[in-house]
Structures are given as structure tokens and as C-alpha cells.
Amino acid sequence: MYLAKLEIQGFKTFATKTTLVFPGAKGFRHAVTTIVGPNGSGKSNLADAIRWALGEQSLKLLRGKQSEDVIFSGSVGKARSGFAEVSLTFDNSDHTMPVDFTEVVITRKLFRDGDSEYLINGAASRLTDIRLMLAEANVGQQSYSVIGQGMVDHILVATPEERKAFFDDAMGVKPLQIKRHEAILKLRRTAENLSEVKMLLQEIEPRLKSLKRQASRLEKRGALEIEIKDLRRRYYGNLWWNLHDQIIIVREKQEKSETVVARAIERVKNLEEKVSAKEIEENAKEKTDDGLAPLQKEYQETQRERSKLRDEEFSVERQIELTKVKAETTWAPLSLSKIIEEVELISTSQKNIVVSLRSVTSLEEVKKLADEAEIMFDRSAKLVGRLQKPIPTEAKPDPILLAKRDEIHEARVKVETKLTELEKAISASASQEKTDRTELFAMHRELRQAEEERHRIEANWHEAQIELARLEEREKNLDREIQEEMGEDALTPKANRPAITENVETLYPEIQRLRYQLELIGGIDPETIKEYQETELRFTFLSEQVDDLERAVRDTEKVIDELDDKIKDQSDEAFKKINREFEHFFKILFGGGSCELVKLTVEDLKTEEGDVALDRSMTETAETEQAKEEKPIFNEKKDRVIGVDIYATPPGKKLKSLNLLSGGERALTSIALVSAIMATNPAPFVVLDEVDAALDEANTVRFASILDELAKLTQFIVITHNRATMEKADVLYGVTMGEEGISKVLSVHLKNVFGEGGSARR
């Protein structure tokens, strides 16, 4: 794989679309491309463009302060660009990149409004995916694929920790580290989710226990409700059907009495008609007795008055009976809380009386306490009365109705007495009548007897009506009571006659006992069971999630351990090889001397520094305290090697510290190190931005020979001013900048100048 083409538009000084084509392999070596031009022409912008397209996010490395600095800002003769776009075309014929394309184009765009996008062969992609793909191809924005101005020297002046990141790229473990980093992020997210789920479980568990207790009580309440429902069905079933049977009997009696009354009334009516006809006949014969007729007339009026009084008395008695039945309201016992409250008040009063009795000093105080005790006794008796079910006959009728009934009764007694006297008077008068009126007198006597019989039958009929009205009213009250007590099941006891007749007096106390047990359990929302089931289901689901997350944590830790082992093995082997190559190129550049790369651990840094820095000490102390407070869900393993140190001793010197090297020596050491890395783990392409700027002519020749040797392993794109380096090039691009402030590129194929093979390799 190699970089085949670079396309730039609107990036920094390249306002117009510019394309640079890089040749591939030339026989046994890769082609070398050099880019030359005067200072300020924009040569380094090409290296920045490649770095930017590879996903670089550091504006400092891109020599900018804000993201829009990479967009062409305009010049005297050219308006500013609205976007910056860089495309890198890779020849992927060997499928070094893990994709199916033989040509891969990576594009990055940035607009002035801040929007940006990454494309792979024209399709939108994520930066993470691009980084991973490039890392697997040993290319990345943080690797040595693009070495800019000052970066060579930066390798030496960097801290051991910063230098380690560079060597990680060099040792080819970056893809594994990216995977490890993603696994760590996944592990942290999983740990956070696990922590949140455990917190939810901690919140749900007490509620679940409470709901479980309520559900258990509700189940017990359900069993009691079923039992009390059955008792009520039997209790009210017996009451209803007993009352129903009584109503049928009384109704039949009332209907029979009504028939007899009708016959008696008919008989009286017939007799009255006969008497009237006889009297008319007697009057026509002018044999009437002036003394008997008024008595008979008065007697009939008195009878009508007695009938009227009897009807009124019956009506009043009916109202009285109905009032008694209506007064028999449904009795509901006191709630348990009110009973407890009342008993506590009585107990407190008793205690106060006892305390007062012990401190009494006079008889007056004793009398006062006796009055209080009597009040307490009345209160206790009242409580007992409210706890006991009242007897239906205890209901008293309206006194006004009673007084009216007594008044009517007295009037009726007087009327009946008057009737008796009139009967005697009529009898006395009849004895003095003539024989021819004997038949009329007999008819009057028979009429009186029929009326007496009618009145007796009507009295029985009225009693049956009163009894029927009383039972019907009781039936209404019982129906209302059943409706209130049984609700939706109110029709059950009325629809089916009990198979066994039971004593309702024994069923009622059992119903009350169950009622009190239900009150002890208390009112529980029927939705509790549903909430309990939902909460239990959620708790079970979260518990399973905890198990899954913990299993995921263990599996991810196992993956991280495997990656750590691979990283360690690969880095150890590569590190040894880099060390050998470093020494090889160091001796080529310096003509001798010695050098070494050393891995540093935390213990090594502490030993070198003598004491831990204050900020690091405070950080580690804070982390230790936090670790004490919070037990980690997973053990995040850290690399034991935290840095890489470089020791270099030029020939004829005994120096080891890099700070004691001269500028040229440090540049040669950096080039030797970079060359060693490229020889050990060659990248598909390397961009060198004036890395040979600090070298003299002799060292430039040595650098050019090393470049020519390494070209067998990788493709080089070199930005330089040195002729020795240019001589090694296959293609040379020149960058110029006109008055408009826009960079332009000119290309030269050296084979066209020097012929096939060129003087660069002569």
C-alpha cells in the first residue's frame, strides 16, 4: 500500500484545487518524492494537509489557534474559501487496509460554520473507524507517518511519558492499544451502567419488601374477604328467604281476608237494601212510628262514624308500624380505631380518678370524683351500647302518631258505647211496636249482626295489611343493607335459596369477628398486587442485568488481559529490534559511538527524581483516598512501563544525557532513532518535513544514503532544501507563491531530466 495522490482545495494557502500524484514502487525500492520551494511558499502546508486528513485534532501541531484557521482566509486578489477539503488516495492493491477496495480515498471537509465530515470513498464515516483502519495499516495521525518541523528534535526533548506514545506507534501495537482503549471505555460504560443498576436495585429493594408485605397481607385479606363473603351470603340468604316466606304467608292471609271482607260488605249492602225497601213499604202504609225511625237513623249514622274512626285508627297504626320498621336502620359496628380511641380515653379518665383518690383531702373532693366516675361509667355504658347490635323492637314510634292513635281509639270507644245504648233503645222501642213490624225489626237486627261481623273481619284484614306492610318495609331495609354490605354480589343471596337453614344469630358474630380482622389488616389498595408484580418483575430484570453486566465486565477484563499480553510480547520484541537498529543508524551517522533505549517504570522515575513531584503526590494521594472510599467495580490495569528514555554517547565523548548534546548531535540522534523505527516497523508512507534542515553537508549526504536505504521499505515524501536529498528523488514538486498569496505546485520527473535511472543514482 502507498499514498498515490493528494488533493487539496481551500486548505491554508492552497485556495484552488491542487493535486499531487505520488508514484509507486520503482523496481526493488519505493519512489521518493521531494517537495522544494522558498521559505513561506507553503511547502509545510502540504504536510499539514496530510496530517489533517488523517484525523489530526491538535491545532497546535497544525500551526493554528482555531479550527477555521485551516481554511484559506483570502488574499488581495482572491476571496476567502468557504470550506477546506483534503483527500488522500491510497493504492490498496495488497489490501493492507482491512477493506475490500483496491483504492481507498479518505476525505476530510471543514466548513466555516463549524460543520465537518469524514468520507471513505465518498461515504460518510466516523473518525474512530478511520483511525482504526489507518492504525491497522500502520498509519495514523499520531504515528511517525508525518514528521513535521521540530518533531524530530521533539522526540529527544519530550518527557519519557510523551516519548512512549511515539514508540507505541513505532512498535506496531497501536491497533491493539486502540482496541484496548475501546475495551476500557466499554468497560467503564459497563461499570457506570452496573453502578446505576445497583443503585436502582438498592432503591427498589426496600420498596419491593414493603410491597411484598402488603401483598402478603392483601392475600390474607383476600382469604378473609372470601370467607366473610360466604358468611354474608349464608347470613343474608337465610334472612332474606325467611322474610320472603313470611311475606308469602301474610300476603295469602291478607288476600283471603280481603275476599271475606268483600263478601261481608256485599251481605251488609244487600241487607241495607232490604231494610230500606221494607221501611219504604211500611211508610207507604202510614204505619211508621215516629219514635223508632230517629233511633234507627241515628244508629246508622253512628255506625258510619265508627267505621270512619276504625279506618283512621287503622291508617295511624299502619304509619306507626311502618315508622318502627323504618327506624330499624342498618347497624354498622364502630371501627377498630374509634374503639381504641374511646377505650384509651376511658382508661385515662380512670387513671386520673385513681390518682386523685390517692391525694384526696376532703369529702367534697370525694363527691366530685364520684361525679366524674359516674360520667365515666355512663361513657363506658354508651360504648358498650354502641358495640352491641340493637334489637329491632327498641325503635320507638313518633309520639305524635301515638297520641293521635289514642285519641281516635277513645273516640271509637265512645262511638261503640253510643251504639250499644242505641241498640238497647231500639230494642225497647221495638218491643212496643205492633206485630206487623216484627219482620222489619228482625231485618234491622240481622243487619246489625252483619255489620258487626263485617267490622270483625275488617279488623283482621287490617291487621294482615299492617303486618304485610311491616314485612315489605323490612324487606326494603334488608335489601338496602344487603346492597351496602355485599355490593356487586347483592343478588347472590336473593337469587338462590340456601340449601341448609342456619341460625343467623350464630353467623352474625362470626361476620363481626372477620370484619374486625379486616380492620386490623387495614385498607390496602388493590393495585398493590399489580405494583408488586411490576416491581418484582423490574427487580428480577435488573438483577439479571446486573449478572449480565458483571459477566460482561469479566469477559471484557479477560479481553483486556489478552490484549495486554499481546501488546507486551509484541512491544518487547519490537523494542529490542528498534534498539539494534538505533545503534546501527547511530553509528552510521556519527561514525561510531553508542546509544540505548531504556524502558522506565514508575519505580525508576521515583528513583531518578528522588522524591515524587508535589502535584503527582497529591494526585496519587487523592486517587488512594478515593479508592478507599469507593470499591471499584473492575480493576483497571495500567501499563507498568510509563516512559522511554534515550541514552546517546557520540564517539570520543562520555556523555549520556541528551541535554548535553549539541544541536547537530541531537538532530543526528533523532534521525537515527526515526530511521531505526522506520526500519523496524515501516509505515506505508512517511512524510518528512525539513528534518534535515539542521544538518551540515556531510551529514546530509549520510542522511540521504539512509533515506535511499529505507526507501526499500517505505514510500518517502520529503520536504527539503538540501541537494543531496533532492538527488535521491524520483519526482520533485516545486511550491511557489505569487502576489495573490496562493500556493501553486510545479512537478518534475527527474527521469525526464537525467534520463532513465537519473544522476541521482549515479
The answer to whether residue 230 is domain-embedded is no
617 membership: H or E segment, kind and range: helix 614-629
Q: What is the DSSP letter of 687?
A: E
Could you tell me if 55 and 37 are in contact, meaning their C-beta atoms sit under 8 angstroms apart?
no
Distance CA 472, CA 392 (A): 15
R_g of the chain computed on alpha carbons:
60
pLDDT of residue 636: 60
Mention every residue, 6+ apart, whose C-beta is less than 8 A from residue 82: 10, 71, 111, 112
Q: What is the mean pLDDT of each run of 10 residues along the chain (762 residues)?
A: 91 91 82 90 89 86 85 84 93 86 93 91 89 79 67 73 74 75 83 84 83 73 77 83 84 82 80 74 55 68 76 75 60 64 82 81 80 81 66 60 78 78 70 57 74 78 80 81 78 80 80 75 68 83 85 84 84 86 86 85 60 44 47 59 83 75 80 83 85 82 86 89 86 87 81 51 36
Looking at residue 614, its pLDDT comes to 41
DSSP 336-396: HHHHHHHHHHHHHHHHHHHHHHHT--SHHHHHHHHHHHHHHHHHHHHHHHHHSPPPGGGPP
User: Residue 385 has what pLDDT?
Assistant: 66
Which pLDDT score is estimated for 754? 55
Query: Which residue do the cell numbers 205492633 mark?
Result: 434
pLDDT at 627: 45
Residue 758 in any domain: the answer is yes
Query: What pLDDT does 604 receive?
Result: 64
Asked if residue 121 belongs to a domain, the reply is yes
Q: Does 44 map to a domain? A: yes
DSSP secondary structure string for all residues of 445-501: HHHHHHHHHHHHHHHHHHHHHHHHHHHHHHHHHHHHHHHHHHGGGGHHHHHS--SS-
Residue 153 lies in a domain: no
The pLDDT of residue 104 is 93
Q: Among 701, 708, 634, 651, which residue's Cα sits nearest to residue 678?
A: 708
Cβ neighbours, 10 Å, residue 270: 12
Domain tally for the chain?
Answer: 1
Q: Which residues contact 356 (CB under 8 A, 6 or more apart)?
A: 365, 369
Dihedral over alpha carbons 220, 225, 226, 229 (to 10 degrees)? 160
pLDDT at 312: 78
Which pairs with CB-CB distance under 8 Å and at least 24 residues apart come from 318-323?
A: 318/462, 318/465, 318/466, 318/469, 319/401, 320/397, 320/398, 320/401, 320/402, 320/405, 321/466, 321/469, 321/470, 322/469, 322/470, 322/473, 323/397, 323/398, 323/401
Is 723 inside a domain boundary? yes
Cα separation, 695 vs 692, in Å, equals 5
Estimate the share of the chain in helix, then strand, then coil, as percent rounded to the nearest 5: 65, 10, 25
Question: Is residue 67 domain-resident?
Answer: yes
Alpha carbon distance 131, 174 (integer Å): 10
Of 747, 749, 748, 740, the closest CA to residue 14 belongs to 740
Question: Which CATH number characterizes residue 28's domain?
Answer: 3.40.50.300
* 603 contact partners, CB below 8 Å, separation of at least 6: none
According to the model, what pLDDT value does residue 285 have? Answer: 52
Look up the domain containing 744 and give its range. Answer: 1-145+686-762
Assigned domain for 657 exists: no
